[in-house]
Structure 1
């Protein structure tokens, strides 16, 4: 079962329209998350919405949005007033133009979504739009309203559906000159560049997400398992960085370091794809029926342990 749609409406290319649904293409729910606890009691911390002046708790129905004009002076905006804005993109993704993918600056990319037909009707129109985008090898640019904000969305064909990536507006992207102006102009010699290129060639490969492991997540799993087993947690020695005195010598040593031996090459070919879960994670994290997020399960009531 696919997750619940974040948005439902219509996709329109000129006079061709079809009902569609928008789904999140990524998830972080499988990552380990922590609760905040009272160190003294071990109880969870609860957050309340309170009046900043009186300290009284305020029920949700009495909370409205406000824009601060000056310190302590607000203009209230109600939910009904926001809905009255009634932008066309609230219910329809209108394709405005088609562009080359290479023209989209990666700094403008926010997050991806999956787009598919909503219901049993409109599959023919959806297929026409999808195949047009695919055959033209273009990215369709439109607009969509999510979480009360209008976003630019870039649509690409993927398999039988579309991938829509939200894009930032120009005012949301900071100028690189704010950070790069003070970088010194350095002359890189051909010898240095040749050595660096050699290192790149030695480390060249194909992008495969399955090769990547979240080492921090694996370390969290190991830490939690050790604490659950009552083991003493000892701090590990942090690696120390070394100052590069002779850049050419460092590059030469790097070339030797990155050169793969025959044994290492044979071992790499024989290795299977890395496991997605860290060692011990399967034992600690058990799936709960109906949920993707893995939860820790214990046979007894958990007690707080200190390192």
Structure 2
């Protein structure tokens, strides 16, 4: 089934316009999620919308939005009034300017989306806008309304489509001064810097997201599998951080350790896990990423649905 668009409208560059659809480029649905349960019964917790004063449940049709101006004083705003504030960016992404990618501070980045033509028409106009962005090596800046708020969106060419990244407004970004002002001014010697650079060169590589594994997610899968077969969960000893007394000595030892790691033969049979496929594969039999040594061969006996350590 084709993914559902988060937004549909038009992309416009001056007089060039085409219908487009916006799709989320990322998903967290593969991650393990937990429900809240009643410890006594094992039943799920249900949330109700209730009047804060009377405690009575309020149906959705009687709930309106309100802006608090003082304690217990609100200005009610209706759905119709909010629709009157509708901006052009509700239906159209107007490209306002083109900037260099390096000009965009990473703190302003929120989340990426895929942008593609919507329907069978407008592919020519879309291609013109996409290839102009690509050839100029620029990022197109526009505006779009999502979840009832207007966002800045940065458009970049990607394959046959566009990547649109939502950006924060300046008032949403905190300044670094209040966090960095108390950091001490330390003079780093050339010898220390040379040793640190040597470590960096030994560990230099190319960013490949396929190499990375979500260790916490894997640990959750293992925990669930162990509890499913009735294994007693015992706390593991946490690693202890060590205070570095001699920084120069620590750097020298790090260089030696990095050299040993680089010289050690790598197991050709061991392949990096694919982050995109890992979670579903691990949870299919819920036996985890590797067969459990205890109880994996035997099917657990039927019993209560809720288990505890």
Task: Give the drift of 1:86.
Answer: 1.9
Distance verdict in 2 for CA 1:292–1:195, change over 3 Å: closer
Contact 1:67–1:75 at 8 Å: present in 2 too? yes
Contact 2:139–2:155 at 8 Å: present in 1 too? yes
Distance verdict in 2 for CA 1:284–1:44, change over 3 Å: farther
Q: Deviations over 1:166-193 (max 9, x none)?
A: 0000000000001001111000000000
Task: Give the drift of 1:293.
Answer: 22
Contact 1:114–1:164 at 8 Å: present in 2 too? yes
Structure 1 residues without counterparts, runs of 5 or longer = none
Task: Give the drift of 1:243.
Answer: 0.5
Q: Deviations over 1:275-301 (max 9, x none)?
A: 237999777623999999999xxx957
Contact 1:22–1:114 at 8 Å: present in 2 too? yes
Whole-angstrom distance in 1 between the partners of 2:231 and 2:110: 42
Contact 2:110–2:167 at 8 Å: present in 1 too? yes
Contact 2:142–2:153 at 8 Å: present in 1 too? yes
Whole-angstrom distance in 1 between the partners of 2:19 and 2:290: 28
- Which residue in 1 is equivalent to 2:273? 275
- Which residue in 2 is equivalent to 1:293? 291
Distance verdict in 2 for CA 1:215–1:140, change over 3 Å: same
Cα RMSD of the aligned pairs, angstroms, is: 3.9
Whole-angstrom distance in 2 between the partners of 1:293 and 1:206: 32
Q: Deviations over 1:13-46 (max 9, x none)?
A: 0000000000000000000000000000000000
Whole-angstrom distance in 2 between the partners of 1:273 and 1:229: 29
Contact 1:12–1:95 at 8 Å: present in 2 too? yes
Whole-angstrom distance in 2 between the partners of 1:207 and 1:269: 21
Distance verdict in 2 for CA 1:8–1:280, change over 3 Å: closer
Task: Give the drift of 1:12.
Answer: 0.0
Structure 2 residues without counterparts, runs of 5 or longer = 294-300
Distance verdict in 2 for CA 1:150–1:16, change over 3 Å: same
Contact 1:110–1:166 at 8 Å: present in 2 too? yes
Task: Give the drift of 1:260.
Answer: 3.9
Distance verdict in 2 for CA 1:282–1:68, change over 3 Å: closer
Contact 1:211–1:274 at 8 Å: present in 2 too? yes
Whole-angstrom distance in 2 between the partners of 1:261 and 1:228: 40
Whole-angstrom distance in 2 between the partners of 1:68 and 1:288: 47
Whole-angstrom distance in 2 between the partners of 1:137 and 1:20: 22
Whole-angstrom distance in 2 between the partners of 1:288 and 1:14: 53
Whole-angstrom distance in 1 between the partners of 2:291 and 2:176: 38
What is the aligned residue count?
301
Contact 1:225–1:284 at 8 Å: present in 2 too? no
Contact 1:30–1:293 at 8 Å: present in 2 too? no
Q: Deviations over 1:140-175 (max 9, x none)?
A: 000000000000000000000000000000000000
Matches within 5 A, 1:32-47: 32-47=32-47
Distance verdict in 2 for CA 1:279–1:40, change over 3 Å: farther
TM-score, normalised on structure 2?
A: 0.90
Distance verdict in 2 for CA 1:196–1:42, change over 3 Å: same
Contact 1:156–1:162 at 8 Å: present in 2 too? yes
Q: Secondary structure of the residue that 1:220 maps to in structure 2?
A: helix
Q: Secondary structure of the residue that 2:144 maps to in structure 1?
A: strand
- Which residue in 1 is equivalent to 2:251? 251
Q: Deviations over 1:89-147 (max 9, x none)?
A: 00000000000000000000000000000000000000000000000000000000000
Q: Secondary structure of the residue that 1:142 maps to in structure 2?
A: strand
